[in-house]
Structure 1
């Protein structure tokens, strides 16, 4: 599959026969109180200086990675391919070590490699798509994937969106009828409690980090438009066990929350 997505029109996006799985926005936020008379306004900060909270693109080898960028030089795609191949090689190295430890088939090894020599595998095409908009990327997914594997098309289990404020805003503005399912948000709520009161109840902590970029939805808890999901639901959405309540990492408290648009 080509790593580039062709431009898409809204009509083509809406008229596609294939509907996508739920669209889940994955975002790390921290509450920021902005000075405003007569009282401060709290918003969900997601970054500072227009940068994302991670320094590099890190595509995963067992997922289709869709990158949305304004870059027209191809450099973003090239960087993503390099990262993807490096991640794939790390995965293969683990499998080599697994095979060297036992002569029997190791349960940790992927089923795709059971019938082939790991060292003799042919070079794979990176599972990477590069697009210039959320709409264009989703249209390409609709055209190339189905809800179930059939007729040479792979199935698409879930669509996770990780990005900056503009990407989230574009996703939230989509008409859910065009991609078939409800919109979801998985929030990593990050706090840096400073006082004993805040440490006893991290949800009272604000302004622990410097942010000038904000999530498009200011309030999710108690928002009539969004239903708060249980930890079990969130775990199902992201494909791994999500801990309940606050988890401490040194002086930072973190909790995981999920919301689904009603």
Structure 2
């Protein structure tokens, strides 16, 4: 079982956007970190970022453990139907729905997902493909971040021990009240056509902090630290994919 002091890691992708200042005393435009547009990502699918996310969140820290990913209902719904809930992870979906419709939908998704995964496993067995002890796929529906952490702690060990804890999709409002170490794994995204000037993405949803430094109670992690957090080498260098460049960085909340 993961101890209550184990880190909670927020995973997010951001892009710098110049926006009008809301401060009458300082009307100059300011740079904010955009994270969304019209309820989805501001940029097309970025393979390097998506594959990094999948590896990091599904990679269990040790055999016999499964990571958990906590998200809001809108984030859950943004996942392609045939991939819900995400495999080899325990998904905790936060919703204020009191009718039970969200829970019912998640349970139906989970049943179909497990049936497909069982069929795939059976096919591998029939083909004499060696089956490895992998993390489980499961999902729970909860009303808040606190209840997600509590329920994950309770179910840990009853099915499989809890590995790492991640928050995804912008559900960051209540993390300051969480009594455990806080980390951020952030993908910086910029649009920079080959040989041209940087072209900002349009955003209508922003990261709550404009600066990730000691002014806001955070410190930058070294590439070596970030590599240890995610379980693979991260250099901090920019990676080009078409007209987009991405960079994976890390931050840790100061005491």
TM-score past 0.5 threshold: yes
Residues 45-79 of structure 1: per-residue CA shift (max 9 Å, x gap):
11123x14363373223221100112223332233
Shift of 1:154: 4.4
The verdict on how the C-alpha distance between 1:79 and 1:240 changes in structure 2, with shifts beyond 3 A counting, is: farther
Q: Name the residue aligned to 1:66.
A: 92
Aligned to 1:110: 132
Task: Please tell me whether the aligned partners of residues 47 and 213 of structure 1 are also in contact (alpha carbons under 8 angstroms).
Answer: yes
Whether 2:235 is the aligned partner of 1:250: answer no
Identify which of 32, 50, 74 aligns with 1:43.
32
Which of 174, 179, 182 is matched with 2:177 structurally? 174
Q: Could you tell me which residue of structure 2 aligns to residue 157 of structure 1?
A: 163
Contact 1:226 1:261 (C-alpha < 8 Å) held by counterparts: yes
- Cα contact 1:30–1:191 (8 A) shared by 2: yes
Q: Are the counterparts in 2 of residues 61 and 84 from structure 1 also a CA contact under 8 Å?
A: no
- Deviation for aligned residue 1:44: 0.9
User: Within 2, Cα distance between the matches of 1:131 and 1:99?
Assistant: 36
- Distance in 1, Cα, partners of 2:233 & 2:111: 27
The answer to whether the Cα contact below 8 Å between 1:31 and 1:43 also exists between their aligned partners in 2 is yes
Residue in 1 that maps onto 2:47: none
Q: Within 5 A, what are the aligned runs for 1:15-34?
A: 19-34=4-19
| SS of corresponding position for 1:140 | helix
Assess if the C-alpha contact under 8 Å between 1:23 and 1:160 holds in 2.
Answer: yes
> Distance in 1 between the 2:248 and 2:160 partners?
30
| Inter-partner Cα distance in structure 2 for 1:96 and 1:193 | 46
After superposition, the C-alpha distances for 1:76-115 in whole angstroms (9 at most, x for unaligned) are 223333433444344344434433443xx61xx23279xx
- For residue 260 of structure 1, the aligned residue among 249, 252, 255 is 252
What is the rounded CA distance, in whole Å, between the counterparts of 1:248 and 1:85 in structure 2? 38
Length-normalised TM-score, structure 2 = 0.69
How far the C-alpha of 1:153 sits from its partner, in A, is 7.3
SS of the residue corresponding to residue 33 of structure 2 reads strand
Q: Which has the higher strand share?
A: 2
What is the TM-score when the length of structure 1 is the normalising length? 0.67
Matched, 1:143 2:154: yes
Unaligned runs of 5+ in 2: 42-74
Q: What corresponds to 2:117 in structure 1?
A: 91
Contact 1:21 1:156 in 2 (8 A): no
Count of matched residue pairs: 210
Give the 3 Å change call, closer, same or farther, for CA 156–26 of structure 1 in structure 2: same
Provide the C-alpha distance between the structure 2 equivalents of 1:95 and 1:241, rounded to a whole number of angstroms: 30
* Residue-by-residue CA offset, 1:21-52 (whole Å, 9 max, x unaligned): 21111111111111235422111111123x14
Judge conservation of contact 2:95–2:144 (CA < 8 Å) in 1.
yes
Aligned to 2:186: 187
1:130 counterpart SS class: strand
**What secondary structure sits across from 2:28 in the alignment?**
coil
**Cα 1:241–1:101 shift into 2, 3 Å:** farther
